[in-house]
Amino acid sequence: MDKLIVHGGHLLEGTVYVSGSKNSSLPILAATLLTRDKCVIRRVPDLSDTNYMVQILASLGAQVERASGMVTVEADSIRSEAPYDLVRKMRASVCVMGPLLARTGECLVSLPGGCVIGDRPVDLHLRGFEQLGAEVKVSGGNIHVKASPDSGDREVNMLGKHGSTVLGTDNVLMASVLTRGTTVIEGVATEPEVVDLTEFLIKMGAKIQGAGTRTLVVEGVKELHGAEHTVIPDRIEAGTFLVAGAIAGRRVTLKQADAQHMQGFIDVLVQCGYPVEISGAGDITISRIENPRGAEIRTEPYPGFPTDMQAQFTALLATVPGLSTITENIFPQRFMHVPELARMGADISMEGPTAIIRGTERLGGAPVMASDLRASAALVLAGLMAEGSTEVNRLYHIDRGYEHIDHKLGMLGARMERVKVTG
Ligand code: UD1
């Protein structure tokens, strides 16, 4: 188990390349199960989560090859049962349910457990499958779904009490592309990663209208064929580097980013006073300022401020003098980073799902514990500007979603070392 020791106080400057999106890669890799033909997916980031997905595809019977960002999958014949040992390691593995159901007529997947960012049910995925006409049984910790031979038209609704669901939309969409008749899916998530999956499915021969809107209309086809696809840039990795530039940078430029996907939080950086320059070529530059202002943030579904940037902005605003608030509307319990930031000197109190942040110009290094992917990133960001050294333990969380983060921040001038912890 690795830990990262971040030596604070070194100004960041330079250029960093944004990796392909983790949250696009996972469902797109799962979607390759929908055809017997070969699919080639490019710009897949080298992360433990994408490695788990590759292992799941292989254990389902697909031939998978991986070489520097390119994953080739040929799923000539597949099983419908996903292995518990692999599925339990990554919640996002539930997105193999949709393709397995479409391709084999059934799927058996273990129920994902809880996780530190709170209760994360799959009821909307299962309700969606039922509205598609499938039979769903949950017993013994497993989900068993069986497609029905029904070929009539159907309507599915993806909305729950916190809005739509990203992976639920992916699952129902993938389950419907090979289902006869017309499926109208209402209340779908419009996150760019859902649109990226939709575009890949269309390249495979799926008939889908309404990409990027709240309603998708799917005309079922008999079969899909192989396709090649390059995943979109990771807007959350890109956003994390922008915050690194704001918190500890002189001038940091992102390359191969997509600012259109990032408007929900670029707007907040601009409100805080940070100059953000966007060029059509995928470059985004952020520069340091002397007197940034606080902000009021509410996490929302896309195109609003994403929950996956909440922890990083909590770290940033903890270093911006004045009062700021962040209200978490998607995962109200997602504040595990707050007590850890407090160990570094941050002044944050909680009122329900709202963090009230009184910014301070100085944080101090401390040993801290990473609890989930984005919370870990927040601790590294705080460590970049803290006085002294910050020891971020349980680094495996960050390796789930950030490709070579220590190397990339190092290229910008950050000082940090990865240390193996034995025993
Ligand atoms: C995806 C992202 C994750 C991001 C989240 C919200 C991936 C691999 N992960 O997760 O990084 O933080 O979107 O943008 O893409 N809900 C239900 N019932 C369900 C499903 C969800 O009540 O069946 C609730 C959740 O508890 C949450 C909200 O809906 O409050 C949104 O969750 P959802 O969009 O499903 O998150 P994921 O798709 O798991």
- Relative to the CA of 127, which ligand 1 atom is closest? 23
| Residue 168 Cβ < 6 Å to ligand 1 | yes
Residues 173 and 41 in one domain: yes
How are beta strands 389-393 and 367-369 bridged, if at all? Answer: parallel
Residues 309 and 213 in one domain: no
Active site residue 39: no
Residues 7 and 137 in one domain: no
Q: How confident is the model at residue 100 (pLDDT cuts 50, 70, 90)?
A: very high
Residue type, 36: R
Residues 197 and 344 in one domain: no
Determine the pLDDT at residue 402: 96
CB-count burial class (<10 Å; 0-12, 13-18, 19+) for 239: buried
Determine the pLDDT at residue 114: 53
Residues 279 and 221 in one domain: no
Peptide bond into 121 cis (omega under 30): no
Total domain count for the chain?
A: 2
Which residues, in sequence order, are bridge partners of residue 197?
Answer: none
Q: What is the CATH number of the domain that holds 165?
A: 3.65.10.10
Residues 89 and 225 in one domain: yes
Distance 168 CA to ligand 1 centre (A): 8
For residues 172-189, average pLDDT: 96
Tell me the C-alpha distance between 300 and 345, whole Å. Answer: 28
| Residue 330 Cβ < 6 Å to ligand 1 | yes
Distance 120 CA to ligand 1 centre (A): 7
- Relative to the CA of 160, which ligand 1 atom is closest? 22
Residues 140 and 35 in one domain: yes
Query: Which strands sit side by side in the sheet containing 142-146, from one edge to the other?
Result: 106-110, 142-146, 135-139
pLDDT digits (tens, 9 = 90+) for 23-49: 999 999 999 999 999 999 999 999 999
Q: How confident is the model at residue 148 (pLDDT cuts 50, 70, 90)?
A: confident
pLDDT value at 75 more than 90? yes
Residue 407 gets the label, from left (phi > 0), alpha (psi -120 to 50) or beta, of alpha
Residues 167 and 65 in one domain: yes
Residue type, 317: L
Catalytic residue among 39, 107, 115, 272: 115
Distance 182 CA to ligand 1 centre (A): 26
Identify the domain containing residue 100 by its residue range: 22-230
* Domain stops at, among 230, 257, 287: 230
| Residue 134 Cβ < 6 Å to ligand 1 | no
Distance 288 CA to ligand 1 centre (A): 33
The model carries a pTM of 0.97
Q: How confident is the model at residue 421 (pLDDT cuts 50, 70, 90)?
A: confident
Reading the block at residue 35, the tokens are: 């055809």
| Residue 23 Cβ < 6 Å to ligand 1 | yes
Could you tell me the CA-to-CA distances from 219 to 129, 222, 417 in Å, in that order? 16, 10, 52
The protein residue with its alpha carbon nearest to ligand 1, atom 30, reads 330
In degrees and rounded to multiples of 5, residue 283 shows phi and psi of -95, 135
* Domain stops at, among 230, 248, 268: 230
* Domain stops at, among 213, 230, 247: 230
Ordered DSSP codes for 171-200: HHHHHHTTSSSEEEEES----HHHHHHHHH
Residues 39 and 82 in one domain: yes
| Residue 125 Cβ < 6 Å to ligand 1 | yes
Reading the block at residue 132, the tokens are: 């598609």
pLDDT digits (tens, 9 = 90+) for 218-270: 999 999 999 999 999 999 999 999 999 999 999 999 999 999 999 999 999 99
Residues 173 and 283 in one domain: no
Residues 105 and 179 in one domain: yes
Helix 22-31 to helix 166-176 angle, to the nearest 10 degrees?
20
Residues 201 and 314 in one domain: no
